[in-house]
Structure 1
Amino acid sequence: MRPWLPVLLILLLVGWSLGALAQSAELRLDLERQRLALNETLVARLIADGGLKGEPDLRRLEQDFEVLERSHAEQMRIINGTISRLRVWTLVLAPRHPGVIEIAPITLGAARTEPRRVEVVEAGARRDAEPGAPPLARVEAEVETAAPYVQQALVYRVAILLRERPLQAALSAPLAEGAIVEPLGEDRSSRAVVDGVEYTRVERRYLLIPQHSGALRVEGPRLDVIFAAAPRPGALYRDFPSLSGFGAGGGERRLVERAETLTLQVRARPDAAAEPWLPASAVRLREDWAETPPRAVVGEPLTRVLTLEVEGASATQLPELVLPEVEGAQRYPGRPRVEDGLAAGEVRASARHEIALIPTRPGPLHLPEVRLVWWDLVNDRPREAVIPARTLEVAPAPGAPLPSRPASAAVAETVAGDEPVATDEGGRGSAGAGPWPWVALVLGLGWAATLIWLWWRRRAGGEAPVAPPSASVDLGAARARVEAACRANDPRAARAALLDWGRARWGASAPGGPVELGRRLGRPGLGATLAALERALYAPTGEPWDGAGCWARLAPALTDASTETARATPLAPLYPGAG
C-alpha cells in the first residue's frame, strides 16, 4: 500500500465534512410582528446556525430602519451527542418612514436571509384604530423665527409630552448641518392639557446659530421612551427561552417619537451692517468706577469698569471693545469676565471689562468715548452704543510740590483793578491802607540793593558758587531699598522705593510713576520691565512678578544715574576770591 494513500483519504473526509457543515449553515430573520405604527419599535432576531463567522451586513436594513439597540449572544446545544451552535443578534428597530417596507436579504459570509415585508402605518392611523387611547408621548419643536440672519442666536425649543410616567426616556439632540447647536439652560417641567388630556410637559432648549445664509434644515430630535405594559403574546422566544430578556418584549412598551423637521431661510448680512457683525435685540454699554465719583491722583490707580450687556446674542458672539489710548495715564486692561444665560426666554450675554488707570501727571485727564456698532433685530437697522467722553481732574501726588505761579500772573492780579480796595471782616471798603505801603517800599528798596550787591560781587570775583542740590533723600539709601524690595518679591514696596529714588534723583521734577521713570532713564527694555511691575499691582486680574529679574535690569540703570548725579554736582571752592 502506498504511504500517501491514507493521507489522501483523510483530506477527502475533512473536505466532505466541511462541505456538509457549510451546507447545514443557515441564516434566518425572525420578526416580532408584521405591522406597527411609525412611533413604535420592532424587535428582530437574526439567527445563525452552524459555523458562520463574522458580523452581519446591516447597511441595507439601516436605509429603512434606525437601529436603536444591538446585542449578541451565543448558545450551544448537545442533543444525542450532536453539538449545535447558535449565534443570535437581537435588534431594536425604529422605522424611518411609513408604508410597506421590503426588508432586503441580510448577508453573513455566504449565507443570506429570506426577504421579509413589514407594514408601517402613521401613528395617528394607529390611534384612530384604537379609539379612546390618546398618545402616550408626543414631541414638538419650534424656533422663534423662520427667517433669521446669519450668525443670529436662536432659541430652539423642544417640548416632550408624557401621559404616563416612563420607565426610561432618552432624547437625541437636533441636527442641523451648517449651524452651531448647543444645549441651553436646564430642563423645565410643568403640566399641560392637550386635546382634553393632561400631560407632563418637559421643555428642553438649544442654542442654534446659523453659520451660512440660505436654506437650513433642522432635523427634529428623537424621543426614545419605554412605558410599562402588559406582556404581548408571541412566539419570538419560543425556541430559546433563555434569550427572552433581550429587546423590548415582556412587560414593556417602547415608543419612538420624532419632532417635526423645520426648514429656516437664513438671510445674509445686510450691506449696511458694520464690522464686527453683532445682531441683537438690545445692547447696553455702561461705565462704572470702583470709587464714585472717581478721584484721580498722580501715581495712584483708579479702576474703570465698562460693562457690555447684549440681549439676543451668546457670549461667543460678543466683540472686543475698542479702547482708545489715554494720554497722560498708564492703562492696564484686565481679562473680560463673560457670562452667558437665558432670561425671559431669550439668550443674554454680558462682558465686564476692568481697566486700571494710573495718571502720570497732574491736570485734566481726557478719556475718549467708547463706541460699539450693532444691528437692531427688532427694527432691522444699524445702531450704536456709546459711552461719552469725559475729563477727570488729576491732583498732584501727596507730598509733591505744587507748581509755582508765574510772577507775571501775580502782577496782573495786582493791577487788574484801577484802584485796589481792601475789605475788612465786615465787608466794608477802606481808602486808607495804613503803614503797609511804607513797609513794602522799604522791603523793595532792600531787595534792589541786594541785587546790585550780587551784581558787583560777580563782576569783582567771578561767578558765585552753585549750591548743591538738597540731599534730604540719599540716592544710595533709596537704591538699597529698591534692591531689598525686589529681592523680597514685594512689588508694592519696590514701586514706593523706586519713586523715592526718583525724587532723590530729580527733585521736584521727578516722574509720577515707574513707567515714566523708565523712559527718563532711557535704557532699552526698562519701560517694559516697569510696566510689568505696574500690571502686577494694578491689573484687575493680576500678574505674577519676578522681583529678582526686575532688579537685574534696574541695577545698572540706577547705578549709572547715581554716578552721573555725583559728577554733575560741583564742590564749593575753598577760596572763592582766588582766581
Structure 2
Amino acid sequence: MSLSVQAAVTASLDRDHIAVGEAVRLLLQRDGSTDDEPDIGPLRRDFDVLGSSKGSRVQIINGHASSQTEINLVLAPKHDGLIHLPSLQWAGEMTPALEVVVGGHATGPSAPAAESSHVFLTATLDQNHVYVQAAVVLTVKLYSSEPLHEASLELPANSDVLIKQIGDDKQISESRNGDDYQVIERHYVLIPQRSGPIRLAGPILNAKLVAKQANDPFGNDPAFANIFGRWRLPSFPGFVTATRPFHLRAKSIELNVQPRPAGAAGSHWLPAQSLSLEESWRPETTSIHTGEPLTRHLRLTAHGLTGGQLPDINTLLLAPDGIKLYPDQPQTEDRLQGATVQGERAQDIAFIAQRPGHYTLPVVRLSWWDTVHSTQREAMLPSRQLEVLPAATGASSATTSPPAQPAPVIKPPTSAKAALPAGEHLNSTSLPWPWISLALGLLWLVTWYAKWRTTRHTTQATPTRIADDAASTALPAGSALEAFRDACRNNDAQAARRHLLEWADATWPTHSPLGLNALSQLLDNETLAEQLRQLDRACYMNAAWEGETLARSLSSPLVKKTAVGHEKDLPGLYPEP
C-alpha cells in the first residue's frame, strides 16, 4: 500500500495503477474517535463512490490506550489517465493528496497482471442529423470475454432528453481482433426536448469479476459462466470464487439538436423519416341504414417517432351534421425497424347516422416534416360518399340501435315458425325440436285463453276487483323500477337498460318496447329520449356512464303521468264485459 506521511489523518490507496473499469480502494485513518464524516464531495468530480464502510480500533500497550477511526471507500474512475485525488477535510484536519493511473501499461508490484481489454462498452446513434422531439435510437453493446456476476447496465437520466428502453436485450457472439466476446445488445429511444448541443453521460456497467489466481485451472474459459453470471464456479478445492467490483462508464454521447424549421406548417410537429396514414372500413360499403354502425379503422405509422408521439387520430376527423362518431380506445406500439424506431397508432371509430340522406365525409389531412429531405409533407385520406337509407323494417330505432346489445327478455313464441331465427332451418328427421316448439306454442295459447276466460268471468262478477288486480300487476313494475334506480346509482349501464325494459314490459304487456328508442317513443319526452339514447350508446360502446340524470328524469310523478296518458291510446288490460 502506498501510504502518506504520518499525521493525525492519513490516506492510502490499495493500488496506484488500475485498468479501465476496475475500482480502487481509498483508506482514510484518523487518530482518536469521532462521529464526524469526511467531506468526499471533491472526489465525485472524477470518481463514482461505489461503497463505504466505517470502523474503529482500540489498542492498549503498557497500560496506555489509543484509538483510531477508519473509513474505507470504493472508488470507480470516470475516465482513464492520471487522476489526482484532492485533499479531503475530516474533523478539522486535511488528508494528503494522492494520484492513481487508470489504463495504460503499469510496472511494479501494484500493477495488474494484464491490461483489461476483456470488458468494454460501445454506444452509437442511428442518425447524426437530429431535430427537436425527433426519436433517436441509441444502441449500447457490452462486450465481455469473461463472466460477469451481478451485472447491471443503465443509462443515466437527463433533464433535456426523454429516455426509454425499447425491446429486450439481445445476446450474441462476436469476434474482434481475434478475440471471442459474448455481446449484450440493448436499445434506447432518445427524444431531445430542446434544440442546441446536448451532452449525455454514457451508459454505466456495474458488475463483479472473478478474482482469479494462478492455481485456477480454467482461467478465462467462458464455458463455466455466461456473461451475466448465471452459472457460478463451484466451491470445490482448486476453484476460486472470490470477486472484485467492476465499474465501467462508456464515453459521453453528444447530440446536436436542430430546432423546428420556420417552414414547418400544421398544428402538429411530427419530424419523421417517413409517415403513412391508412384506413379500412367494416363493412366495406358505401350505403348503410339509419342507426347501423359503420366502423372506420385508421392506422398511423411513422419511422423516427414513437407511438406515443403520434397525434390522436380522432381529432383529425370532421363529421357532417347528422352523423355521430364514437371512437374506441387507441392502440400504440413501438418496434425497431432496422436501426430506427417505428411508432404506430391505431384506432377504430364508429360512424352512426341519425337520419337518412347523402353524406360526404371530408378529406383527412396530416402535415409532417421529412427529416431525410428537410421538407414539409402531407399524409392524406380521400373523401368518401356515404348513402344512408331509412331504418330497416323492424328496427327499434332510427338514430342509434347498435347491433351489439344485451339479450332482450325472452317471450314464448306464438307459433313454431316464429320460434326459428330467420334463415335457420332444422332437420325434422334428426331432431324433434319443431314438434316441441309447436307443442310449447299451443300450450302457451291454451294458458293465455284460460287466463282470459278467468279474468273475463271475474270482471263480470265483481267489477270492483279490477282495481285490486291492477294494483297487483303494478308490483313487478315497481320492483323493476327500483332495480333500475339502483343500477343508475351504481352507474351500471347494462343493468339499467335491462331493468328499464323489464319495467316497460310490465307496464305495457301488450305493447312492450323492443329497445330503449322504442321506449322513448312511448314516453313521448324528447329530453328523456336523448338520455335513453345516451344509455343505449354507453351499452353499445361499453363506455363509462353516469345514471343520476336519467334516474331523476324517471321519477315517480313522471312515470305515472306518462303511463296514464299512453293507456288511453292502448287497448284495455281486460276485455269489456
Determine if the TM-score, normalized by the shorter chain, exceeds 0.5: yes
Q: CA deviation at 1:360?
A: 1.6
1:362 matches 2:356:
yes
SS at match of 1:167: strand
1:328 matches 2:322:
yes
Whether contact under 8 Å (2:20, 2:116) holds in the other structure is: no
The 1:309/1:100 distance shift into structure 2, 3 A limit, reads: closer
Whether contact under 8 Å (1:491, 1:536) holds in the other structure is: no
Q: Which residue of 2 aligns with 1:272?
A: 263
Q: 2:331 aligns with which of 337, 356, 372?
A: 337
Q: Distance in 1 between matches of 2:153 and 2:276?
A: 37
Q: CA deviation at 1:341?
A: 3.2
Q: Distance in 1 between matches of 2:204 and 2:291?
A: 63
Q: CA deviation at 1:52?
A: 1.9
The RMSD of aligned alpha carbons is: 4.3
Q: Which residue of 1 aligns with 2:252?
A: 261
Q: Which residue of 1 aligns with 2:192?
A: 210
Normalising by structure 1, we get a TM-score of 0.65
Amino acid at match of 1:110: G
Q: CA deviation at 1:252?
A: 3.7
The 1:393/1:228 distance shift into structure 2, 3 A limit, reads: same
1:352 matches 2:346:
yes
Q: Which residue of 1 aligns with 2:202?
A: 220
Q: 2:302 aligns with which of 304, 310, 313?
A: 310
1:184 matches 2:166:
yes
Q: Distance in 1 between matches of 2:558 and 2:55?
A: 81
Q: CA deviation at 1:317?
A: 0.8
Alignment of 1:7-46 (within 5 A): 26-46=8-28
Q: 1:533 aligns with which of 535, 546, 549?
A: 535
Q: Distance in 1 between matches of 2:280 and 2:25?
A: 65
SS at match of 2:130: coil
Whether contact under 8 Å (1:25, 1:111) holds in the other structure is: no
Q: Distance in 1 between matches of 2:174 and 2:114?
A: 19
SS at match of 1:305: strand
Q: Could you list the runs of 5+ residues in structure 1 that have no partner in the other structure?
A: 1-23, 233-248, 402-476, 501-510, 570-579
Q: Distance in 2 between matches of 1:544 and 1:377?
A: 44
Measured against aligned partners, the alpha-carbon deviations of 1:66-92 in whole angstroms (never above 9, x if no partner) come to 212222234445555555444322111
Whether contact under 8 Å (1:168, 1:227) holds in the other structure is: no
Q: Distance in 1 between matches of 2:484 and 2:291?
A: 19
Q: Distance in 2 between matches of 1:514 and 1:311?
A: 50
Measured against aligned partners, the alpha-carbon deviations of 1:205-225 in whole angstroms (never above 9, x if no partner) come to 111001111111122112233
Count of paired positions: 443
Q: Could you list the runs of 5+ residues in structure 2 that have no partner in the other structure?
A: 1-5, 215-239, 396-473, 488-494, 506-514, 571-577
Measured against aligned partners, the alpha-carbon deviations of 1:257-315 in whole angstroms (never above 9, x if no partner) come to 32222322111111222221111223232223343447622233343322222222112
Q: Which residue of 2 aligns with 1:543?
A: 544
Measured against aligned partners, the alpha-carbon deviations of 1:362-390 in whole angstroms (never above 9, x if no partner) come to 23343333222222223322222222222
Structure with max Cα Rg: 1
Q: CA deviation at 1:495?
A: 8.7
Q: Distance in 2 between matches of 1:317 and 1:64?
A: 37
Q: Distance in 2 between matches of 1:130 and 1:484?
A: 84
Amino acid at match of 2:391: A
Q: Distance in 2 between matches of 1:355 and 1:515?
A: 27
Amino acid at match of 2:101: V
Q: Distance in 2 between matches of 1:515 and 1:346?
A: 56
Q: Which residue of 2 aligns with 1:576?
A: none
1:106 matches 2:100:
no
Q: Which residue of 2 aligns with 1:161?
A: 143
Whether contact under 8 Å (2:286, 2:385) holds in the other structure is: no
Normalising by structure 2, we get a TM-score of 0.65
SS at match of 1:57: coil
1:287 matches 2:269:
no
Whether contact under 8 Å (1:153, 1:208) holds in the other structure is: yes
1:116 matches 2:102:
no
Q: CA deviation at 1:135?
A: 0.5
Amino acid at match of 1:118: E
Q: Which residue of 2 aligns with 1:421?
A: none
The 1:368/1:517 distance shift into structure 2, 3 A limit, reads: farther
Q: Distance in 2 between matches of 1:133 and 1:99?
A: 14
Q: Which residue of 2 aligns with 1:388?
A: 382
The 1:92/1:516 distance shift into structure 2, 3 A limit, reads: same
Q: CA deviation at 1:107?
A: 2.2
Amino acid at match of 1:326: P
The 1:43/1:324 distance shift into structure 2, 3 A limit, reads: same
Q: Distance in 2 between matches of 1:138 and 1:515?
A: 74
Q: Which residue of 1 aligns with 2:434?
A: none
Amino acid at match of 1:303: T
Amino acid at match of 2:272: A
Q: Distance in 2 between matches of 1:289 and 1:216?
A: 45
Which shows bigger deviation, 210-219 or 33-42?
A: 33-42
Whether contact under 8 Å (1:536, 1:543) holds in the other structure is: yes
The 1:133/1:32 distance shift into structure 2, 3 A limit, reads: closer
Q: Distance in 2 between matches of 1:52 and 1:225?
A: 33
Whether contact under 8 Å (1:364, 1:392) holds in the other structure is: yes
Q: CA deviation at 1:231?
A: 5.9
Q: Distance in 1 between matches of 2:386 and 2:355?
A: 12
Q: Distance in 2 between matches of 1:366 and 1:483?
A: 43
